[in-house]
């Protein structure tokens, strides 16, 4: 048995305390884990191991919550982040299971949300989406489900329309080259790019003619 001789708040982290046993620093604990400890209390090796395991779970959960506070993450991303903070593998597994129960770790939902956000704000091809989701550590089945409803032609058209203001005044050849290169960078294949570029060119020409007619009517 070892006796607690001091419990001191950590200078750099008020949510953690240092535990001293038999006059020497022994280990740190989250304040919530150490809540029932008092100087003079004796601890067995089994109790010490239990406290440290509980502290590891608390640290892992708080780190995961901090990591998730910035944006949604895949399970693979959460796992890698916890490993970076030297959380034991068994504790990582327990933490992920807890996050799943709380609805905070769900690869299917993450993949769907990722695709929806990309489609809304930065449209790109199915192939580009698949590559991004693979980089997030998602399995092929989850990825396939998330991108199954992607309409590449509609997304390419949406991306092109958002880009077209930067291409105003260009002749057809330069317009086609620049817009085609832009869509290619988004991962769209030529079979999609060619008709979309022609379609958007025709739309911009029609829009310009319509505006000219309106200006003439006003004049």
Please determine, for residue 102, whether its predicted confidence score (pLDDT) is greater than 80: yes
DSSP the chain: -EEEEEEEE-SS-TTEEEEEETTEEEEEEETTTTTT--TT-EE-HHHHHHHHHHHHHHHHHHHHHHHHTTS---HHHHHHHHHHTT--HHHHHHHHHHHHHTTS--HHHHHHHHHHHHHHHS---HHHHHHHHHHTT--HHHHHHHHTT--HHHHHHHHHHHHGGGGTT--HHHHHHHHHHHHHHTT--HHHHHHHHHHHHHHHHHHHHHHHHHHHHH-
Tokens standing for 9? 């708040």
Whether the per-residue pLDDT at 97 is higher than 70: the answer is: yes
Mean pLDDT (whole number) for 31-51: 93
pLDDT tens-digit readout, 54-94: 999 999 999 999 999 999 999 999 999 999 999 999 999 99
pLDDT, mean over the chain:
92
Percentage with pLDDT > 70 across the chain: 95
- In the chain, what is the straight-line distance between the N-terminal and C-terminal CA atoms, in Å? 96
Please give the pLDDT value at position 188: 95
* Maximum mean pLDDT: which of 120-124, 168-172, 175-179: 175-179
Residue 79 pLDDT:
97
Confidence of residue 14 (pLDDT cuts 50, 70, 90): confident
What pTM, to 2 d.p., does this model score? 0.78
Mean pLDDT (whole number) for 177-194: 95
List, as own/partner pairs, every contact residues 129-135 make where C-beta atoms lie below 8 angstroms and the sequence separation is at least 24, other chains included: 129/187, 131/187
Q: What is the pLDDT of residues 115-156, one digit of tens each?
A: 999 999 999 999 999 999 999 999 999 999 999 999 999 999
């Amino acid at each position: 048995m070892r006796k607690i001789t001091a419990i001191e708040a950590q200078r750099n982290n008020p949510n953690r305390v240092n535990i001293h046993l038999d006059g020497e620093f022994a280990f740190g604990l989250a304040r919530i884990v150490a809540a029932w400890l008092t100087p003079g209390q004796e601890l067995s090796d089994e109790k010490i191991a239990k406290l440290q395991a509980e502290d590891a779970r608390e640290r892992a959960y708080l780190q995961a919550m901090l990591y998730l506070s910035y944006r949604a993450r895949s399970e693979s991303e959460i796992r890698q982040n916890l490993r970076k903070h030297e959380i034991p593998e068994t504790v990582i597994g327990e933490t992920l299971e807890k996050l799943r129960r709380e609805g905070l770790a769900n690869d299917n939902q993450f993949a769907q949300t990722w695709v929806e956000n990309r489609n809304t704000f930065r449209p790109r091809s199915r192939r580009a989406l698949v590559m991004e989701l693979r980089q997030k550590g998602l399995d092929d089945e989850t990825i396939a489900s998330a991108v199954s409803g992607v309409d590449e032609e509609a997304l390419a058209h949406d991306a092109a329309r958002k880009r077209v203001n930067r291409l105003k005044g260009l002749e057809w050849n330069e317009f086609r080259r620049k817009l085609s290169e832009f869509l290619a960078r988004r991962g769209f294949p030529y079979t999609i790019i060619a008709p979309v570029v022609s379609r958007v060119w025709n739309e911009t020409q029609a829009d310009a003619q319509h505006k000219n007619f309106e200006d003439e009517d006003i004049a």
